[in-house]
């Protein structure tokens, strides 16, 4: 079983409009609601790939109840969310149908008390003995210490469970120092972490800071990986038009799926790149176009070198 941690779960709401214009009223052509937050999106993709997944994090208020109701309808996903007094946040994605661009509005999330954080940490430790890998994903809700992910990384490592970290800013900086097995930043997050805007140099620097492997999302240009085993670049055959929200989460799902399936790194990167691109072709985050995914699996180009070390 794979465990995904979403400390700042959300109800993802996607609006589609003909054309998004500032200072104007818009008629929404379609509305979708899904349980969300980065780790929840990862879990839904993993479940669609046939993996058993447990989701944990925080849930609260009326929005939290809707998230749990929607999560219960997802086959293969087990709900282990921890209740809090505050209300789960909402995220709003507005898709411009003419341009394909997406505008994202993210609420901050509920205030988490020290007692609620302690209850979560106990629940997390109880789950670890039964899992094969864990993903720590997304932003921190108000009230949590900036080193929250670093502590969760150390707990997973102490339990012998491989851990992937996908966050940004200071939580990422602290988390890398705790030595996660994999981090999955995008290009901007990687530059913020290392100070370098040259992706290859930045991935190597992030490894020196403590990450076992660094897999950087480069948007439509694919993935760049620096690992103990070597360095690789995975590139999709063409840019996919659609909604990019959740594409990075699907890349995380692909990396975790490849990890628990014991695939070599080039095959993990192929799976992650194909899933990421297939998610752009899907209407909402946490889903992927299976036809696009299967077609891309044989067309993703992976180049690189195996480390002599």
Question: Which residues, in sequence order, are bridge partners of residue 28?
Answer: 17
Cβ(96)–Cβ(20) under 8 Å?
yes
3-state secondary structure of 270: helix
Which of 166, 249, 261, 267 does the annotation list as catalytic? Answer: 249
- List the structure tokens of 52: 């058993």
Report the alpha-carbon distance of residue 309 to residue 294 in Å, rounded.
34
Cβ(278)–Cβ(289) under 8 Å?
yes
Cβ(227)–Cβ(306) under 8 Å?
no
249 a catalytic residue:
yes
The DSSP symbol for 233 reads E
Report the alpha-carbon distance of residue 55 to residue 17 in Å, rounded.
32
3-state secondary structure of 296: helix
Cβ(107)–Cβ(81) under 8 Å?
no
The residues that are catalytic are 249
């Amino acid at each position: 079983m794979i465990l995904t941690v979403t400390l700042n779960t959300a109800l993802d709401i996607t609006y589609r409009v003909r054309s998004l214009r500032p200072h104007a009223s818009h008629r929404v052509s379609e509305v979708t609601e899904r349980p969300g937050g980065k780790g929840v999106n990862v879990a839904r993709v993993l479940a669609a790939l046939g993996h058993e997944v447990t989701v944990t994090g925080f849930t609260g208020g009326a929005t939290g109840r809707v998230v749990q109701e929607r999560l219960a309808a997802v086959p293969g996903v087990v709900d282990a969310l921890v209740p809090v007094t505050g209300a789960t946040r909402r995220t709003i994605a507005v898709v411009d149908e003419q341009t394909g661009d997406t505008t994202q509005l993210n609420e901050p999330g509920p205030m988490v008390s020290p007692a609620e954080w302690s209850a979560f940490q106990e629940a997390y430790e109880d789950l670890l003995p039964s899992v094969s890998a864990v993903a720590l994903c997304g932003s921190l809700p108000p009230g949590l210490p900036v080193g929250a992910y670093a502590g969760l990384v150390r707990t997973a490592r102490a339990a012998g469970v491989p851990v992937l970290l996908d966050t940004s800013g200071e939580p990422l900086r602290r988390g890398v120092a705790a030595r996660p097995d994999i981090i999955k930043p995008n290009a901007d997050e990687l530059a913020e972490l290392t100070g370098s805007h040259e992706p290859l140099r930045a991935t190597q620097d992030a490894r020196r800071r403590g990450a076992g492997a660094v897999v950087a999302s480069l948007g439509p240009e694919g993935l760049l990986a620096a690992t103990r085993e070597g360095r690789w670049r995975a590139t999709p055959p063409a840019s996919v038009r659609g909604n990019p929200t959740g594409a990075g989460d699907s890349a995380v799902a692909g990396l975790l799926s490849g990890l628990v399936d014991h695939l070599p790194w080039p095959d993990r990167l192929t799976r992650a790149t194909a899933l990421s691109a297939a998610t752009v072709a899907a209407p909402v985050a946490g889903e992927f176009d299976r036809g696009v995914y299967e077609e891309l699996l044989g067309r993703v180009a992976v180049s690189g070198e195996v480390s002599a070390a």
